[in-house]
Structure 1
């Protein structure tokens, strides 16, 4: 935040509208400061190491009057893209273009193999008493991803990042589905 000449405080992001909760302002501001230093190659000794993946996994507590979650999430996606591009440039300099693409191809093959499994069996299932991701919802999106990998059908990183699934008792294990979606994002960012 910064203070104008008039003494009013400017926010980095818009605030959540009442009665909605937003992300804790202090956590977001601290994270952005750490990310800025990391991206510029000037981290402080106590700063955590940041990568595109760690940015994707970042979470903030919520508070009344906090930053708008939609605005912060969009900024995090742009930040993830910037870190992924930087990581790609560094890897290409150190190991050449081919090394980066080989890793992306390997990940894409692992994901494609998972998506090629029969419907209803692509991921581990939760017990019938526990909620997981809705099997048909996930399978439908998995079919779209399979066409992307197999046939080059258009799908964007934002489509993958923003997908949501209904809950279902005995559904797919959420953590496993989320890991595959993260791998898809990694591949998509690598081949940009």
Structure 2
């Protein structure tokens, strides 16, 4: 048995018509992540883990289990990145960079409701504006006052779609930046 086989993470598989993440794609990504973390083989960052996506198939891995594991892996990469940045540039530079990112995000989230992000065309679907604005208000309070928000809560955010809604890529980028800020101060 090889080392990669003996330390391989296994997940529960979906059954019947329930769909899950493609097992081969998940296994390949996790192997690359492990090698990057343990051996420094191919560079990988916490953001790379956060952006990981897998095909949805029948008889795949249960999505929530894989997502939870990816969250833990992202946390480990973020902690390593924080340690490296602090040791090379110092705590003040790390805190300054985190504050700068937080301020950029706060500026975006402080825009008037309904105008925080670009909208898709009237006939296209984007994120529901009212739902995004509700989450944006909570995130803005976190950035302004430190009101409790966990990285798991931000990772779990999901929005329904509406015609003429907010552009998904912009909303997702801001959520990613909030996760980076939370992980930076964790």
Given the two structures, how large is their TM-score scaled by the length of structure 1?
Answer: 0.90
Aligned to 1:155: 149
Matched, 1:73 2:67: yes
Query: C-alpha separation between the residues in 2 aligned to 1:120 and 1:82?
Result: 36
Aligned to 1:122: 116
Question: How far has the Cα of 1:11 moved from its partner?
Answer: 6.9
Query: C-alpha separation between the residues in 2 aligned to 1:11 and 1:109?
Result: 38
Aligned ranges 1:102-113 → 2 under 5 Å: 102-113=96-107
Query: C-alpha separation between the residues in 2 aligned to 1:123 and 1:63?
Result: 32
Aligned to 2:31: 33
Query: C-alpha separation between the residues in 2 aligned to 1:2 and 1:52?
Result: 24
1:150 match: secondary structure: helix
2:126 match: secondary structure: strand
Aligned ranges 1:143-182 → 2 under 5 Å: 143-182=137-176
Query: C-alpha separation between the residues in 2 aligned to 1:50 and 1:11?
Result: 19
**Count of residues paired in the alignment:** 182
Most deviating of 14-23 and 80-89: 14-23
Question: How far has the Cα of 1:108 moved from its partner?
Answer: 0.1
2:25 match: secondary structure: helix
Matched, 1:135 2:133: no
Q: Which structure's residues are more often helix, by fraction?
A: 2
Question: How far has the Cα of 1:165 moved from its partner?
Answer: 1.2
Coordinate RMSD, CA, aligned: 1.6
Encode CA deviations 1:10-52: one digit per residue, 9 max, x unaligned: 9711101221111111111111111111111341xxx4x2100
Aligned ranges 1:36-55 → 2 under 5 Å: 36-43=34-41, 47=42, 49-55=43-49
The structure having more radius of gyration, on CA atoms, is 1
Q: Unpaired runs of 5+ in structure 2?
A: none
Which stretches of structure 1, 4 residues or longer, exceed 6 Å deviation after superposition? none
Given the two structures, how large is their TM-score scaled by the length of structure 2?
Answer: 0.93
